[in-house]
Amino acid sequence: MKPSKNKEWEDVLNLFQKSEIEKRRSGEGDMMKKILLIKALKFVVLIIVFFTSCGPDTPPKSTTETQPEIKITSPEFSADSAFLYVKKQVEFGPRIPNTKAHDACAAFLIKHFESHGLKVHQQKGSVKVYDGKTFNFNNITAQYQPEKTNRIMISAHWDTRPWADQDNKNPQAPFDGANDGASGIGIMMELARVLAKEKLNVGVDFVLFDLEDYGKPEEKDSYCLGSQYWAKNYPFAVKPFYGINLDMVGDAEAKFTYEGVSVQTAKNVLDKVWRSAHGLGYGQYFSYEETSSITDDHAYVNQYTSIPCIDIIDRSAGFAKTWHKHDDNIQNISPKTLKAVGQTLMYLLSVE
């Protein structure tokens, strides 16, 4: 919106000049001059107001704006403990379905959650994958305070991809999956250990999805087979208010962004998590940048259960630097990143 040429201003000037002539004739020049000066000043004020009100819209607040610091009132999340849980998973070897390492790790995970008083539910089945093979899967849910009807879901996948297909060296060989799989599970295990000593206002469903990473980009719905089955055959009477999925949350240079599906389906949850992370001092990991939608377990949770679910996933270089590479090992897991994600979740659960 632009101001138009203003004839009123020209008229004021002409009138002022005429008044100089009249004042000599009538002796009323002083009074007329005061009146015209008042009119001119009023007009200048109007011009200032006009340009102020018709300027560009107020820009949105910066996406890097820091949140007020939060004084931690939640239990302490131990980064060292979470790191140890990641390491123990890796020590089983790649957790590829239909292998002994996969079965042994499942027993370890179930024992951990049960030992801390959570109620464990196993959803077992088999499915044919895109290349014609059949795999057994086990979706494991560990419920903290299962009697609560106000619930939050935290999920991650616990299987590993059979091939390091993004690596130039030995792309057909399996890799450890310390970040892609074990990091999210390690955070959940530590949360469960701490919560066992607490009495929160909410219940928590820790969901460990299986068979997430045996897929092919060109094959539609070939990834996230465990979560697809779980969501289509939802096993519980009560649905959580919202869900938070964790994927690749252990890299030292991790950057978690506003992922596309999460923005579309659960932006209010994103906002809540990111504000908390920034308030706790972990803003370096949680970026307000919006990135493209991805196919991950949260997408099928949203699609088939109507539970608003977000994805906390490393988008620092498209995906994490070690994504589907042999470098995805325990040496590249950062306790500081585990702490940032884990303490943020601990705070959220404590204030709900």
Are 183 and 318 found together in one domain? yes
- Residue 300's CB is within 10 A of a number of other CB atoms, namely 23
CA distance 274 to 266: 13
Query: Is 63 within a domain?
Result: no
The domain boundary residue, chosen from 53, 70, 90 = 53
Cα angle 121-127-128, degrees, rounded to a multiple of 5: 165
Identify whether 72 is part of a domain. Answer: no
Give the DSSP letter string of 252-299.
Answer: TT--EEEEHHHHHHHHHHHHHHHHHHHHTT-TTTEEEEEE----SHHH
| pLDDT given for residue 232 in this prediction | 98
Q: What is the DSSP letter of 110?
A: H
Distance CA 132, CA 189 (A): 34
User: C-alpha 302: how far from its chain's center?
Assistant: 14
Residue 15 class from Cβ within 10 Å (0-12 exposed, 13-18 middle, 19+ buried)?
A: middle
* Closest listed residue to residue 160, CA positions, set 174, 143, 173, 149: 174
pLDDT for residue 66: 60
127 touches 327 (CB < 8 A): no
How far is it, in rounded angstroms, from Cα 152 to Cα 69? 24
Write down the pTM of the prediction. Answer: 0.81
What residue has token string 């999460």? Answer: 262
The residue segments making up the domain with residue 251 are 79-351
Same domain? 23 vs 150? no
Whether the CB-CB separation of 48 and 54 falls below 8 Å is answered with no
Provide the domain count of the chain: 2
Looking at residue 146, its pLDDT comes to 98
Structure tokens at 107: 């027993």
Segment holding 207, helix H or strand E: strand 203-209
- Mark whether 332 and 281 lie in a shared domain: yes
Packing angle, helices 100-115 and 79-91, rounded to 10: 150
Dig out the tokens for 227 from the structure: 């979560």
Instruction: Indicate which CATH number applies to the domain containing 101.
Output: 3.40.630.10
Report the SS3 class of residue 60.
coil
In this structure, are 85 and 214 located in the same domain? yes
Alpha carbon 43 to its chain centroid, in Å, reads 52
Please report whether residue 64 resides in a domain. Answer: no
Alpha carbon of 290 to those of 67, 215, 264, 293: distances in Å? 18, 25, 11, 9
Domain presence at residue 294: yes
**What residue has token string 């690749």?**
248
Tell me, what's the pLDDT at 317?
Answer: 86
How far is Cα 229 from Cα 240, in angstroms, rounded to an integer? 18
Same domain, 20 and 168: no
Query: What residues form DSSP beta bridges with 309?
Result: 243
Q: Which residues of the chain carry a pLDDT beneath 70?
A: 1-68, 72
84 with 36, same domain? Answer: no
Residue 96 lies in a domain: yes
